[in-house]
Structure 1
Amino acid sequence: MSTPSAIPTATSVLESAVIKAPLSHVWHHIKLQNFANFWSALQKSEWVKGASPDTDIVKWTFKDGTVVDVKQEEHSSINHYITYSVISSQPEVTYTSAMSTIRLHSVTSGELEGSTFVEWSANFSSDADAGVIQDAKFKRIEALADLARASSKK
């Protein structure tokens, strides 16, 4: 008899929202070091001192005690997206890697004209299990709701 194996699962997450605020109000928050200003799960977000001058690394301290170092991989003020990877975590994560992108688009017509469409995706290594993927999904849903609240205050 074979031993039970993990349940196969997709290793990517994509959550999106329409935020009833102009893109400029939303984009203002999309800097790794500012995530604690809108995301209620974070206690603080701060630059990592001593990192290479060519590397932007930010430490996110979650209210549950988890500490994650994230590295900015790409940032475009023209195309309004940021891509970051998790480079370390305490406690350690159960997967090898994760790369996330937040992308913003202006809604230019229709009932929600003047709003911002936001999508937050993540791609995990193949060793991420269903629990990791579900956790990422729910964290993004919560963070997008927090971002909407913070963006509408401007």
Structure 2
Amino acid sequence: MASKPIATTNEVRESVVIPAPLSHVWHFIKLQTFDQFWPNITKSEHVKGVSSDTDVVKWTFKDGSVIEVKQDEHSNLDHFITFSIINAEPELSYSSVVNTIRCWPVTAGDCANSTFVQWTSKFSSDADIGVIEDAKYKRRDALKGLGEAVKKMGK
């Protein structure tokens, strides 16, 4: 009897509360500045030659892999960015992923004057459990790095 693939959700949702005001955290949430907080990225550069209304950034990772991400939405009013991978070397094992990072100010309670950050990644149905688990830990590393970068900025 052949084994069946493990059924899984195709969405990863990770979050963190960063003890800093929204304006300090939001400062980092631009595709071209992810290398300032995501420890796995060694270089982030704007891709030139793409249409004038499309923002594309190339990220080079520590392991040598390179992805190009396209900004789909960015709102300074609602504090979110949505982006998708449009090219990857080596090629990805799945068809697509759309990411959204959202920030909210925490206005009351023990965490007042902090920022709640949530990163959601929605993968195509061909992403397997290994892709989903890997994404979970990579998002956690990035969010931890974001908190550390914000803390350094405040000093």
Q: Which amino acid aligns with 2:101?
A: I
User: Unmatched 5+ residue regions in structure 1?
Assistant: none
Q: Which amino acid aligns with 1:91?
A: P
1:7-26 equivalent positions in 2, closer than 5 A? 7-26=6-25
Which residue matches 1:63?
62
Q: Which region of structure 1 is more displaced relative to structure 2, 70-79 or 5-14? A: 5-14
- Confirm whether residue 116 of structure 1 aligns to residue 94 of structure 2: no
Q: Which amino acid aligns with 2:143?
A: L
Q: Distance in 2 between matches of 1:61 and 1:86?
A: 13
Which residue matches 2:129?
130
Which residue matches 2:36?
37
TM-score w.r.t. length of structure 2: 0.97
Q: Distance in 1 between matches of 2:17 and 2:58?
A: 28
TM-score w.r.t. length of structure 1: 0.97
Structure 1 residue 7: Cα displacement: 1.1
Q: How high is the sequence identity, in percent, across the aligned residues? A: 57
Structure 1 residue 4: Cα displacement: 2.5
User: Unmatched 5+ residue regions in structure 2?
Assistant: none
Q: Distance in 2 between matches of 1:146 and 1:91?
A: 25
Q: Distance in 1 between matches of 2:4 and 2:108?
A: 48
Q: Distance in 2 between matches of 1:152 and 1:79?
A: 23
Q: Which amino acid aligns with 2:16?
A: A
**Aligned length in residues:** 153
Which residue matches 1:78?
77
Please give the secondary structure, in 2, of the residue aligned with 1:51.
Answer: coil
Q: Distance in 1 between matches of 2:63 and 2:21?
A: 32
Please give the secondary structure, in 1, of the residue aligned with 2:64.
Answer: coil
4+ residue segments displaced more than 6 Å: none
Which residue matches 1:5?
4
1:72-111 equivalent positions in 2, closer than 5 A? 72-111=71-110
Structure 1 residue 137: Cα displacement: 0.3
Q: Which amino acid aligns with 1:22?
A: P
Q: Distance in 2 between matches of 1:40 and 1:94?
A: 23
